[in-house]
Amino acid sequence: MANPSEDVYQKEERKYVFKNPDFDSNKTVNGKKKMWRSLKQIIAQERNLPWPDDTINYSCISAPPSFKPAKKYSDISGLIAKYKDPQTSLYYAGHEEFSTVRNLPSDIITGYLTLRGAYNPIG
């Protein structure tokens, strides 16, 4: 009977598709070990370079507004809301939530609207 630890050494080493077999992480440059930089360091260095004004990089990406309408989520459950209560202005996803919305006290409703950023204390 063979020793199970010997079978481990006989198995072929896995070759991952995403790895470059020629990559060496222990390279040295002029006798010094190569230092790796984090993304934060790379972005900080990129900010200090003399870029033209119209260049897009990681620190100044600006996208145009979306053509699709924003999704509305239920204030109670967080599910995608199909309905809005006209009395309280809370979004809800189904009839179970509608009965919950109608039975909420006004201070809780105000809290939900404040969390969503839709509460206007003046009007």
Q: What pLDDT is stored for residue 91 in this prediction?
A: 94
Q: Considering the entire predicted model, what is its pTM? A: 0.47
Task: In whole angstroms, give the CA distance from residue 85 to residue 115.
Answer: 17
18: amino acid identity, one letter: F
Burial class (CB in 10 A: 0-12, 13-18, 19+), 113: middle
Task: In whole angstroms, give the CA distance from residue 119 to residue 112.
Answer: 8
Q: Which stretches in the chain have pLDDT values below 50?
A: none
Q: What pLDDT is stored for residue 55 in this prediction?
A: 75
Q: What pLDDT is stored for residue 49 in this prediction?
A: 86
How many Å separate Cα 28 from the centre of its chain? 36
Q: What pLDDT is stored for residue 82 in this prediction?
A: 93
